[in-house]
Structures are given as C-alpha cells and as structure tokens.
Structure 1
Amino acid sequence: MKSIIGLMILLTSVLVGWAEASTRPLFAGQHHQIGEVETYYQGTQLVVNATVTEVGWCLARSHLYVGETEPASSAPGQFPYSHELGCALSDTYTIDVNAVDHYVAYHAESKQSSFPIGGTVSYEVNFPGDNSYFDATIDGDGPYNAWCMDLGRTIRSGTTYTNCELRSLNDPDLGIVDQEQNLGYVSWILNQEWSLYPQYSWQDIQGAIWKLTDDTNPVGGAGGISWNEANALAIVALAIANGGDYQADSFEGLVLLCRNEAGAVAQQITVVAVPAYNFFIGEETAWAEGDSNWYNKKGRRVGWGSYWVEPYIIWH
C-alpha cells in the first residue's frame, strides 16, 4: 500500500510543476524601463505576464517565444505567439508546455501618450455638455466631450473627483465595463461628426453608448435623460456595422475610473473624447531583459533583444 501511495505522489509531482516567479525589467528603446515581465510555471503551463509600471506608456501589441530550443531568429514577427493589445497596461500568455526547461523571449511594441495613462488624475464634471452628455476637465485641461458608460453609479455636476485612474478606451482589459467587447463600437461613435446628422441628439448618442456598454439594456428615460429609442438603436446598428476593429481617427477615448479609499470604483465610468492629434508622442520597441542575445554567423550581436531560460522545477 505504501508503495502505491508513493507512486501516486511521484506521478502527481511529475504532473504538477511549480516554480517561484522570476521577474525581469521591460525596456523600451533599450534603456528606458517601462514595466516588468513575470514568468512562472503553473502545473503544465508557463505563464508570462507583462505589466506596465511607467505612467503614460502602454502596449500596442506583443510577441512571445516559448520553446525547448533556443529561438533561432530575433525577428518578433516569427515568434509563435502574439497579441493585439490596443493600448494595454498588462498582457498575459498561458502556454501549455512539457516538463522541461524552456527558452523564453518577450517583445512588445510600446507607445507613450501625452496623457498620464495608468496614473491618477482629478476631473471636473459639468452637465450638460455642448454636444455631449457632459463636459469633463482632466487635471485642469479641457473641457472635453464626455459620456457615461455605467448606469449603476452616479456623478454630480460641478464636482471635482480625485483618485481617478486614467485608462485608454483601447485597453482590452479594463476589467470593470459590463460589455468590454463593445468598446470598439464606442470608439467609432466618438469619432463621428454627428452635427452632420441633426436627426440624432446627444441624448440619442448617450442612449446608444449605454446600450453597448451596460448590461441593463436601458430605454429612454434611463440615467435621467430621454432619447428617441429608434434613433438610439439606429446608432447602435451603425456602430456594429462600421466599428469592428475600429482604429481611432479624430478622437481617442480616455476612461476614468474614480476609486474610493478602499480602491473600488465608486463613481460612474466615464469615457472622454480627446483629440487624437498628439495623443501618442512616441513609439518604441520593447524587450524583456534576458541573459542571452542573438548573434550572426560572424559573431556580431543582432539588435538588442534577448531571451532567457526558464527552469522547470518539479517538487518531489
């Protein structure tokens, strides 16, 4: 009986690999650290998690190499895994692996914004806006057209809110909007010149945004405003028809998540339309710092990217 139990324990230990996480800096432009990349094994999976820690920076896309042999190429486009990230503050891969050490390389295309994305700001709210549900002033800058994406929380006109986390509407992992899969449609709405279509009021536009982002499927009268239900539904249909994988043109969307002392979002989730011109002020390739570089046949180093070996540890 003891031998059978011992064999079961051994088989379980072979199947369950676990290691303490290793953390490596993520450098943009070779010398500017903008975040960290954490790697660890979780059973028979390797988890690679990148986090942006430098305010104002985000990740547009990423490429990952995981393999049992050294990566032959330093070209990220040839890596086996990739993510389109928009303007994200985090990025996670979970890769099925064998119980052996693995080579890992993490590359990202990073962007720097003129706004403190990932940081904390204050903003003042004033109802109604000239062409929107309300106006928002961010750290004294504005006012900008602003819209509500959250019927479950309230804000008050003439109030300045603090401790507001600033995020991009193109961040695929806001983690708080009911229907995040529809945020691209909201971006499309922000970028339309609605004054050319006078049949649609700002109330209709706000109703359409709520229908796209809130689980309640609101009708006219929700949120204290009335709209033409047919018009709101028509805007939703237009957004769905034209806004798939939409890239911002005239306006970028900033999302404000205002938190209480406990860290929970306490006020309504607001999207602010800011001019796209000069929104992004820089782009840099980014690599997680590794232990090995690529070299050509003449022994010369190729680029500044690097990779490392992630040991697979098995508990006995």
Structure 2
Amino acid sequence: MRKLYLRYCAVLCGIIIACGSISCDSDQLTSGEVLDTENIRKSNKEISFDMSQECVKTSTILYAGQHTPVGEVTVTEDGDNYIINVSTDDGYCMSEIHIDVEAVPEDFPINGGGNPQIGHFEINDDYDCTTGEEFVVAMSEGTFIAVHAVVTCEETTAEDITEALPAMVSVCATAKGADAANSYFDVTVDGESWLAGDYGAWCADVDRSLDAGHCFDADVYASYEDLPDGIIENPGNIDLVNWIMNQGFLGQASPSGGTYTFGDIQWAIWELLDDANCSACAFLGDDWSEEKGQEIVDAAMQNGADFMPGCGDYIAVLLVPTDNSQPIFIPIHIPCKECGSETAWGDGCDFPGNNWAMYFEYGADD
C-alpha cells in the first residue's frame, strides 16, 4: 500500500512539473515583440550590405522624399554617450522620429527583403510638429546610426509674418473714403520687398491726416509687436481690430437695418484704437451709421479678446509715415501650406532592400 501511495505521488509530481513547464513556455510565447525582434535580427545575417560605400561622418543632411533637403542630423560625444540632434529647416517640422544604433549594419532591424523596420528601432517618438529634438544613446551600442523621420510643412504663423516684414517701405495713397474700393484707403506699396503691391488700407489714428495722392516712406510694424509710443492710443485693443479684419463684415446684414459698409468698419476701428472718434466723419460715405459701427465694436468686444490670426487669416500690419502723416494698416494674408507628410532619412549608405532608406557610420571622415 505504501508503494502504491509513493508511485501515485511521483506521477502527480510529474504532472505538476510538466504543467509548470508548459505554463512557462506559454509566457514566453506571449512576448511577441521580443521574439519577433530577435527573429528579425537573426534573419539579418543572411542580408548582404554593400560595405564598399563610404558614409563615415559626424553630421549629415536629412532628406525627405529622397531628394529634398529638409534638415540635419548631428552627432557629438558626451562622455560615454552620443548626443544625436535631429532638426529641420525653416518651413518644416517632424511628427515622428525613429533612431537605431548598432555595432554592425546587419544588426539593424530589417525584414527578409532588407528593408528597415522602423517600428523596431530603439527610439520611436511622436510629436505634434517639432523642429528639433536631442537624444542620448550609449556609445557602447555601436557606430552605425540610422535616423528616420516623418516630415511635413510647418504652417505659417503671425510670428513668421512679423519676422519677414521689411523695416521700411515707400507708400502712395491712391484713393480715400468713398473713392476707395471697400476700404478707407487704397494704397500702393512700392519697392522690391515681398510687401510690394496694392492694398485696401485702414486709418489707425483719427488725429492725423492723409490725403489721396500723398506718397511717403513708412516704418513697418506687425500689429502684435511692441509698438513705439504714440502710434496708437489703445494698443490693448489690437486683438479686437484683428478679429474684425477676419469676420467679413463688409456687406453683411446689420440687425439695425441695411448692411455694414467700409464707413461702419472704419468708425469701429477708431472707436477701439483711438481716444476720441471722428467728429465730422466726412470720408465715411453716406450709408454708414454710428449704430452699425457700435454693433461691430460690441461684437469684437464679445468675441475677439486674445484673437491671434493663424493660417488663412489676415494680420494687420501698420505703416507709420516718417513725415508724421496718418498711420495706416493693411491686412496681410497668412497663407496655408498644402503639403502632406513625407518620409525622411539621414543621408548615408544604402540599406540593401528595395528602398531608399539610409544609415551612416559615426566618425571623422578622413
């Protein structure tokens, strides 16, 4: 009886051990990411890299769509680490960055066809729209570096317009009041700067005068800049005026009757920017009214606080005459860029697959 009991215990223990072994195997199989990565790396040994290519460098160009330079990759040393900096040129930004560093090219994660598997790169980061990122990688990982990014256009902003403005332009007022085309002034900006052209303009200061036919040099300011004292009495309302410029009030129906005219809009601008409005208001046309102007003011105060124009909007740009005549502002369109996302690689040697992916070897190029 005792022998039977011992035999039963031995069988039971064997079953328990076997079950434990199966359980451990099951746990290993669930870690698919690790297993897949290892298989990828093992299969790489069968891929032939062209080691006759020369791509030893400490910095390289970031190319998008194979041929368009959009930024730079630089590598420096800090103790036992690489500092890898990935940046884009003006007008571009990145939504993804993938980086892998290996001792030999065959260790890069690639598939059976020799194409890199960026999802298995050591660094995989997502961004809204970054123009530069820095990464720290141990130098012990190797000298071969692959840098991949997803690059898109960076939208033009009000700040971009501000930075691009010329310091001074030559201006001529060609029409005023009812003679202008749906604005208080028609003006022409002369010269070779990108600001040159014809504009509908608005008066920024009721206390000074400017007549049709008058030409002058003007200092140029974006309305959101810190403006010199005395140009505008109430600069804190600039956001409200920019909001008005983007609402298309001209021709809209007014609750009090009729439609909004250029005169209503100009009166509202003076009401917001100046310490006193016009008295005779001689150049606002025949179909403006203080009531309609006040409706525009009220709408701006209710909806325009902290308004900042963006892609597709207009930003007010001030032209301040050097001869002390009336300062005006012109609405400048902020363009939207139409471009999709493109893959980008740090320039270097070719991966062996049917692709244009690249990697480089860190080091001084002798």
Shorter-chain TM-score tier: 0.3 to 0.5
Compute the TM-score of the two structures, normalised by the length of structure 1.
0.47
Considering fraction of residues, name the structure with more strand. 1
Q: Which one has a bigger Cα radius of gyration?
A: 2
Whichever structure has more helix as a proportion of its residues is 2
